Amino acid sequence: MIFLLMMALPLLGALAMLVPADRFLRTDSSVRVFGTAVSGATLLVAVSALTAFDFDAPSSAGMQLEIDRSWAPAIGLRFHLGVDGISLPLVALTALLTFLCFLYTLRHPPAGGRIRLLTALLLVLEIGLVGTFVALDLVLFFVFFEVVLIPMYAVIILWGGPARQAAAYKFILYTLLGSGLLLAGMLLVAVNAGTLDMTELAARHGAGVSHGVQIAAFALMGLGFAVKAPMWPLHTWLPDAHTEAPTVGSVLLAGVLLKMGTYGLVRVALPLAPHGAQVWAPWLGLLAVIGIVYGALACLAQRDLKRMIAYSSVGHMGFVLLGIATLTPVGINAALFGNIAHGLITSLLFFLAGAVKERWGTADLDALGGGLLGTSPRLASILTFASVASLGLPGLAGFWGEMLALLGAYRPHADLPRETFVTFMGVAALGAVLTAAYFLRMLAKLTHGPPSGVSAAPGPAVSTQEYAAWVPLIALTLLVGLWPKTLLDVTTGPVHALFGGG
C-alpha cells in the first residue's frame, strides 16, 4: 500500500495543477512551494518505506511491502507492486532527487515560466520513475517505463536550451524505439512461460523457455534497456538531451532516468532470459568497455561543461554495464552500487553546471575562464568535490562501483570466457585513468589559475536553496563512499537470490 500512496501523492499534486490559476495557488512562488511540499511528502513516504522494510529478512523472502491485485485477467495482467534490496535504494533516490529538484526550483526556476506545467510534469515523471522501480508485472512495468517519456520530452522542449527541439525529438524517438523492442522481448518470454509476473518468472530462472527464445528475447530486451542506459553506440541521444535540458531535467535524466535501463537489465532481462544473457554477456561487456573509453575520450574533447558531464555519464554507465555483463554477484552488486553513486554524484555535477550557467550565462569552458577558486571559492570547492568523487577517488561513492566492476570482470561467471573479460578489465582500467584526466583538465581550466574570462566577475554567493539541494548529495556521497557496506548489504541478498543462491 505504501507505494500506492507514494504514487498517489504526486498524482494528486499533478491533478491539482489542472485547477485554473485564479482559483488555486495564484502566484508562481506558491506553486513552487506546493511542488516542494508534495515531493517532500512523497519523500517522507519513501523514508517510511525504508523504515518499514525489513533489512534482516532472508533473501529467500523475496519482495516486501507488496500489493497484488488482479487488473485485467483477460491478458493475465496484475497490479503487482513490491520492493527488494535491488529496487529500494533506487526508489529512495528517485524521491530524494525529485524533492531536491523542487527545492532548487524554489529560488532558481528554469527560464521559460509556466511553473504550473513544470510542477505537474515533474510530479508525473516521479510517478513513472517510482512505478518502474516497484512494478512486478511485466506489462505494468512497461506502462510505467513509458510514463516518463512525454513529461521528459515536454521538459526538454519547453524549458531547454537553443537546440532543444532536435534534442527532445531525438530523446523520445530513440527511447521509444528501445521500448518497442523491449516490449516485444518481454512478451516473448511472457507468452512462452505463460505468466507476466516478474517474481514468478525470476524464480523459474528461465526454466520452460527454450534456449533460442531466450537468446532472441535477451537481445530485444537488452537493446531496449541499452538505449535507456545508454550503451555505446546507442548513446547519441544522451549528450544532446542532457545538454539542452534545464537543470532539473538534466538532474533527473542523469540521476534516475538512466538507471531505468540498468535496473531493467538486472530486474527483467537477466532473470527472464538467463541463458540468453550468457550468450550475449561478452558482447555487452565489449560495448560497455568501448563506452567507457569512448566516453572518456569524448569528454576530453568537450568545451562545454554540461556536455562534458553528459559524456561522462556514458563512461560511468559503461562501468555499470560491465558489472552486469560479468553475470556474477560481485559484478551485479557493483552495477547497483554504481547506479546509486552515479545518481548522487552526477546529479550534483548537473546542479553545479546549472549554477555556473545561471551565474555567468555560459557553460563554455574557455569563455568561463579560470580562477574560480579565487573568485567563487564555495562553488568551486563543491565542484572540485563532485569532480573527484566522479573520477573515482577512494573514500567517495564513485570509487566502489568502478572498483567492484573491475573486480567482477577479473572473475566473471564460470561459463564466460575469462581471458576476454580480463582484457575488458584492463581496457576499462585505462578508461578510469582517462576519466581522471578529463576531470582534472576541467578543474585545472576552471578552478585554478588567475581569474580570467567571464567568471572573473564574482557571481552571486551560493544560495540557501542551492545548499539545501546540494548538501544531502554531498553527505550521501561521503556516507556511501566511506561505509559502502551500508548499501552493499542491502543489495547482496537479492542479488544472490537472482542467481539461485540463498
Partner 1 sequence: MIQGIDYAAIAPPLILAVAAIGLLLADAFDAPRRVLGLASGGALAVALAAVGALAAGDRRATFCLPDGLRSGGPRSCSYVADDFTLLFQGIVLAAAAVVVLLSLQEITDSKIPVGEYHFLLLSAVIGALALVAARDLILLVVALETLSLPVFALVGLRRYDGNASEAALKLFLVSVVSAAVMLFGISMVYGATGAMHLDRIAPALEDLPADLDPVAAVGVVLVLAGFGFKVAAVPFHFWAPDVYQGAPLPVAAFLSVVSKAAGFAGLAIVLALGFPAYAHVWGPLVAVLAAITMTLGNLLALRQRTAIRLLAWSSVAQSGYMLAPLSVGTHRLPEAVAATTAYVALYAVMNLGAFAVVIGFHRRPGARAYDTLDDFRGLARSSPAVAAALAFFLICLAGLPPGVMGLFAKVVVFRATVAGDVTWLAVVMAVNTVIGLYYYLVWAARLFAPGPAAGDAAPGLPVRAAIAATAAGALVLSVAPQIVLQTVAQAT
Sign of the Cα torsion 263, 266, 271, 272 reads positive
* One of 157, 198, 258, 296 touching partner 1 (CB under 8 A): 157
Residue 279, interface with partner 1 (CB under 8 A)?
Answer: no
Binding string, residues 32-71; x marks residues near partner 1 by CB under 8 A: ---------------------------------------x
* One of 34, 53, 104, 142 touching partner 1 (CB under 8 A): 142
Residue 152, interface with partner 1 (CB under 8 A)?
Answer: no
* One of 25, 63, 81, 181 touching partner 1 (CB under 8 A): 181
- 287 within 8 A of 321, measured Cβ to Cβ: yes
Whose Cβ is closer to partner 1: residue 58's or residue 180's?
180
Whose Cβ is closer to partner 1: residue 142's or residue 399's?
142
Closest CA to 495 of 272, 328, 313: 328
**Rounded to an integer, what distance in angstroms lies between the CA atom of residue 288 and that of residue 405?**
11
Q: Is residue 162 helix, strand or coil?
A: coil
* One of 61, 191, 433, 444 touching partner 1 (CB under 8 A): 191
CA 423 and chain centroid, separation:
27
Residue 143, interface with partner 1 (CB under 8 A)?
Answer: yes
Residue 237, interface with partner 1 (CB under 8 A)?
Answer: no
- Four-CA torsion 71, 76, 77, 81, nearest 10 degrees: 100
**DSSP letters for 24-61:** S--SHHHHHHHHHHHHHHHHHHHHHHHHHS-TTS-GGG
Residue 128, interface with partner 1 (CB under 8 A)?
Answer: yes
- Residues β-bridged to residue 364: 304
Residue 4, interface with partner 1 (CB under 8 A)?
Answer: no
Binding string, residues 67-96; x marks residues near partner 1 by CB under 8 A: ----xxxxx-x-------------------
Residue 126 Cβ vs partner 1, minimum distance, rounded to whole Å: 14
Residue 111, interface with partner 1 (CB under 8 A)?
Answer: no
Closest CA to 289 of 256, 325, 260, 263: 325
- 434 within 8 A of 296, measured Cβ to Cβ: yes
Residue 24, interface with partner 1 (CB under 8 A)?
Answer: no
Q: Which residues contact 301 (CB under 8 A, 6 or more apart)?
A: none
Residues that bind partner 1 (CB under 8 A): 71-75, 77, 124, 128, 139, 142-143, 146-147, 149-150, 153, 157, 169, 172-173, 176-177, 180-181, 183-184, 187-188, 190-191, 216, 220
